[in-house]
Structure 1
């Protein structure tokens, strides 16, 4: 990998810094990469598979990717129009956020989603219990418009199919012999975290176990090699016992202070299929 490409979206937990390690662990024989938790798509953008199946449960994210793939020039033009000084003000941001939360047109909603992503606080993507986007204004001097990155994504997206499915459905529908990379919401590093706290999130400990069990099943039955990334915790170590684990240090924001970064350990858990049973797809 000579030169890495950044995602055009700001995304908490993005895999730009880990992408070399991830790609090195993925099988080289298959032609299809499946990502049940695609997020901003750093692995997709920096890998070299013939085909991609890119999935997420966030309908705004998947709709955005479909519009960018279908009409890149018009979509990028409309997004760029939002990067004017008059829109980089708190009042304008909150008016546009309200419009986004009320908007039913998929195309306009996708344009607003890209604006909110680059103008909102710390690149967060967060909705309240009513399903309304509630990230506050980011107060950036001059938000960067990722025109080059959007065109790169749009070109490569011609090799991709975008789906809006539960991760288990996505994994079970993956073509036999394809590689599956999973970047789920991470297990908490907090010492006070417990199963009750996991259950309050959108992705709880039972989901984490379901993911690990499916990965083990798909690899042990000779269908797919699966790679999962997560925080290095006793819980994740226990969940991924059947896998081959590598540990990596990654710089993360670990507090409300975006300027506070700390190197934390992450695991890459590889469930490798028997090569003799793995067909090329």
Structure 2
């Protein structure tokens, strides 16, 4: 698969998508207590941009998400990165081209994946949002001097050969968990509304019922003799739901990376729960 870039083969893959709520900032914290070689398989049911997946690079991994366009893109990159790269090379990087490409509908899986990657890179903050008809409707993001990392798409594809990729709900994704597995759980949540309107705002992206379903899933993970790491908003209701005897809770502060060019980006807290 990497015959055209064999000289570059030793480089590690990194996330090929921008993703709101991504966890690149969390890598150093996880390195303090996680050695991926100690676990029997890795599972990430809310994969998003895959920052932690590509950081750990487990040799046996199961990833999933409810976002079908996202999962279809991972599958296409896994199967045929060369076709996707060739399509991306032919796309112009300007505002008019962005809206033209956004308006198109493709049937070919590799054209659809190239479109997804292109829109992700040039949209406002890499946000994924669709209208009531399922059409992507994020505006142009005015990124300056951006160039695609085509080599990385090949690195990602090479790594994904050892990854099982599924479009499904997080509960359905846990059927492959074994004793000693590690499950990284990063459900969608807002941090800007941690203390003000958190419950109401999150109903739109990951409801309170979903949080309780996730708690039940964690109980099953523990019953199976597996290990979990959960990130979530630092809100009293979240703590009430997920606090468990003998498990660890850490409150981690970080700078918000979501917002407009002129927005105020302050410090926000997030919880990390784990039985490691």
- Same structural fold, with TM-score higher than 0.5 when normalized by the shorter chain: yes
Once the two structures are superposed, the pairs formed by residues 58-69 of structure 1 within 5 Å of their partners are: 58-69=67-78
Which consecutive unaligned segments of at least 5 residues does structure 2 have? 1-10
Match 1:130 to one of 128, 133, 143: 133
Distance, in Å, in 2 between the alignment partners of 1:38 and 1:143 is 24
Q: Which residue of 2 aligns with 1:118?
A: 121
Aligned residues: 262
CA deviations on 1:220-270 (whole Å, 9 max, x unpaired) are x14321111112111221122103112222221354446532221111100
Deviation at 1:131, TM superposition (A): 1.2
Match 2:43 to one of 34, 42, 50: 34
Distance, in Å, in 2 between the alignment partners of 1:55 and 1:23 is 23
Instruction: Kindly indicate whether residue 102 of structure 2 is the aligned counterpart of residue 97 of structure 1.
Output: yes
* TM-score, normalization by structure 1: 0.85
Moved more, 56-65 or 168-177: 168-177
Q: Secondary structure at the match of 2:130?
A: coil
Which consecutive unaligned segments of at least 5 residues does structure 1 have? 273-281
Q: Secondary structure at the match of 1:38?
A: coil
Distance, in Å, in 1 between the alignment partners of 2:121 and 2:45 is 24
Instruction: Kindly indicate whether residue 250 of structure 2 is the aligned counterpart of residue 246 of structure 1.
Output: yes
Native 8 Å contact 2:234 2:271 kept in 1: yes
Match 2:268 to one of 245, 249, 264: 264
Once the two structures are superposed, the pairs formed by residues 78-227 of structure 1 within 5 Å of their partners are: 78-82=87-91, 87-99=92-104, 102-190=105-193, 191-193=195-197, 195-199=199-203, 201-219=204-222, 221-227=223-229
Structure 1 residue ranges (4+ consecutive) displaced by more than 6 angstroms after TM superposition: none
Instruction: Kindly indicate whether residue 26 of structure 2 is the aligned counterpart of residue 18 of structure 1.
Output: yes
Native 8 Å contact 2:40 2:178 kept in 1: no
* TM-score, normalization by structure 2: 0.86
Distance, in Å, in 1 between the alignment partners of 2:106 and 2:82 is 22
Q: Secondary structure at the match of 1:264?
A: strand
The structure-2 alpha-carbon separation of the partners of 1:98 and 1:48, relative to structure 1 and needing over 3 Å to count, comes to closer
Over aligned residues, Cα RMSD in angstroms? 2.2
